[in-house]
Structure 1
Amino acid sequence: MIFIRRAEPNDAAQIQRVYASSNTYAGTLQLPHPSVEMWQDRLKQTSPNDTLLVAVYDGVLVGTAGLHIEEGARRRHVAALGMGIADSFTGRGIGTALLAELLSLADNWLNLLRVELTVYTDNAHALHLYNKFGFEIEGTLRSYALRNGAYVDAHAMARLHPKQPRIPVTGR
């Protein structure tokens, strides 16, 4: 069974293990060999605009997902999303559970209109997950990041609140 809760400072060692997974750091902007101390610092210095959730599967922390609400006055309706799942737990519904909980929070509690993310163009599992939740590709960022010695492309994706009507943009 998957249990979703807010991350706590004493989760640092287990979160470090998630991001030490080779596919997890390769699929995010994290670097190999993260330290527990780095995660302790991140968890201690969390902004009120950040929500970091963890997925616990049979008592083991196996994934994280977070929202960072933009601070600028004209972008407070937007949050950036990031997530990582331990290599040995992909394909078990962990990402679905985390994303469902974060989007419920975004839609029903945080008054967010837009949730944005970037995902590597070759990350088929993540693209499938994000499409399932209504994210759309808005553009491709060429040579977005260095991964394993090569520059890789990423898609910029976003999802608008499902109850928000789309207003067409008209030329002037």
Structure 2
Amino acid sequence: MSTITVRHLEPADLPQIHALYGELQAYGDTLQLPYQPLSHWAQKLDPTRDGFYCLVAERAGEILGQLGLDLFRHPRRKHVATIGMGVKSTARRLGVGSALLSAAIDSCERWMNVRRIEIEVYTDNKAAIALYQKHGFVIEGTCRNYAYRDGRYVDAHVMARVTD
């Protein structure tokens, strides 16, 4: 089995990203809506957007996961970034999420002077919560009725990794 490579998103990756987030589990575990057109992803992941970075995890030409990193631009929050990510259902528990998070954390802390990385995660997404905790994120609070998913409201944790 070939290794997982993390790199920046290229325009040719968009169809595979579109397919990844078209999976029921992917849009169920994120704030994405089902049935989004490819143009939605082209706009959302636009690499020319100031302060936005998009990483993909790839193995043998197949996109296994995607992570978006948004840097805050407000003068008093320039030390903060927020992330969102998705992993292909057939690639879960293979180290894809860890590879993406490690690359994002390294970029933030060693190259972008980011000292606080934030993420929201549904409280019932135990695997994602464990992954984030493994990488130094802690739960800072819980938002009740955070999002509407599959016919009901669900809660989410706000998690952050803070480096002194």
Q: Which range, TM-score by smaller chain? A: over 0.9
2:140 aligned residue: 138
Structure-2 separation of matches of 1:91 and 1:156: 22
Q: Which of structure 1's runs of 4+ aligned residues deviate more than 6 A?
A: none
Shift in CA distance, 67/44, structure 1 to aligned 2, threshold 3 Å:
closer
Deviations 1:130-163 (A, max 9, x none): 00001000000000000101100000000012xx
2:10 aligned residue: 8
2:100 aligned residue: 98
| 1:47 Cα offset (Å) | 1.6
2:149 aligned residue: 147
Question: Which structure 2 residues correspond to residues 33-44 of structure 1 after superposition, within 5 A?
Answer: 33-44=35-46
1:20 aligns with 2:22: yes
Same amino acid, percent of matched pairs: 43
Question: Which structure 2 residues correspond to residues 55-66 of structure 1 after superposition, within 5 A?
Answer: 55-66=57-68
Does 117-126 or 46-55 show the bigger shift?
46-55
1:22–1:87 CA contact under 8 A, matched in 2: no
| 1:66 Cα offset (Å) | 1.6
Q: What letter is aligned with 2:136?
A: G
Aligned-partner SS, 1:44: coil
TM-score by length of 1: 0.91
| 1:45 Cα offset (Å) | 5.9
Identify unmatched segments of 5+ residues in structure 2: none
Q: What letter is aligned with 1:53?
A: L
Structure-2 separation of matches of 1:129 and 1:44: 27
- Give the RMSD, CA atoms, in angstroms: 1.1
Q: What letter is aligned with 1:6?
A: H
1:8–1:43 CA contact under 8 A, matched in 2: no
Identify unmatched segments of 5+ residues in structure 1: 165-172
| 1:12 Cα offset (Å) | 1.1
Question: Which structure 2 residues correspond to residues 146-165 of structure 1 after superposition, within 5 A?
Answer: 146-161=148-163, 164=164
From the CA coordinates, give the structure whose radius of gyration is larger: 1
Structure-1 separation of matches of 2:147 and 2:57: 27
Aligned-partner SS, 1:25: helix
